[in-house]
Amino acid sequence: MLTVGVDVGGTSVRAGVVDAGGAVLDTTRSPTPEGGAPLEKAVVAAVTELTARHPVAAVGLAVAGFVTENRLGVRFAPHLAWRDTPVAEEMTGQLGLPVVLEHDTNAAALAEYRFGAARGAKVAVLVALGTGIGGALLVDGQAFRGAYGVAPELGHLRLVPGGRACPCGKRGCWERYCSGTALGATAVELMATYPAMATVLDGASVTGRRVAAAAREGDPVARRAMAELAVWLGEGFALVADVYDPEVIVVGGGVSESAPLFLDEARQHYAAVVTGAGHRPLARVRTAQLGADAGIVGAATLARDLITDPGRPGIRRPR
């Protein structure tokens, strides 16, 4: 049985046909349109393109936003037009297929649990380092979403009182120190503080991606920025471990592509500062294995569960 997973993000709608082993067999991609109705059309078009080529049993959507508890609608998505929209019902009506929704980070975590770095872990945390930090907590393979569906907001844990301002309105949030955006900000700060330090970076547009590339080449400022990210990452892991005591912490997102430049240091710092250091088992800290396809694979897996496990939420039959 094949299912389709659709990653509905702020910049693109990516869909893939996924088999029972989590392999992505075929994909399609289009830019995310503005407006709720055009977005639904884009998702339907992506799925229709794939169902024309493959026999598909169900569809899962990984959405960059808050999904309702019953996994059928979107409450709010900062970079998408959907507001209190019953997406699954509308999609099922148009596609004639069962549809289920999930928050994109939860979907990615599920994919890592079934097929990747968190396989079989009793308690697993995904920390996705991208533009911000996305967080997911899986307990026995089920996403923990809190009483109202917004947990866990790991990116906005306050790591540094009075620290860098965050668009969420607080200061010192974890994602201000460990996201791709933060990596650029740290490099800019370092250049201002140590103007004599040699660097290939210039002040104009220092992105996380550029800092990562420079760090790979051994650039002193970029290396230092990576070292700072590593320390804050370790601090954050320790907080997460104190609350959830996970078996595995999976580090994903675009920044994780540079993991060899910071992950060992982050692990060491985490091991040193976690409560009860030296007297408790530590979470294994691993890099995500499914890369940019994690959302697609996770959503497609939820769609498969909809067919194989009647207890799961979602719309099974077209009305």
| 136 strand-pairing partners | 126
**Closest to 6 in 3D by CA, of 318, 312, 300:** 300
Q: How many helices (H) and strands (E) does the chain have?
A: 9, 13
Torsions phi, psi for 193 (to 5 deg): -80, -35
Three-state DSSP class for residue 159: coil
Cβ 167 to Zn ion shortest distance, Å? 7
Cβ neighbours for 222, distance < 8 A, ≥ 6 positions apart: 187, 199, 200, 201, 211, 212, 213, 214, 215
104-115 vs 294-308: helix axis angle to the nearest 10?
A: 80
Q: Which is nearer to Zn ion, 33 or 163 (CB)?
A: 163
Whole-angstrom Cα distance, residue 310 to residue 26?
27
Question: CB atoms < 10 A from the CB of 294, how many?
Answer: 31
Two structure tokens written together for 57? 């049993």
Cβ 201 to Zn ion shortest distance, Å? 25
Q: Which is nearer to Zn ion, 172 or 291 (CB)?
A: 172
Interaction site with Zn ion (CB under 5 A) = 156, 166, 168, 170, 173
Cβ 255 to Zn ion shortest distance, Å? 17
Cβ 153 to Zn ion shortest distance, Å? 8
Cβ 216 to Zn ion shortest distance, Å? 29
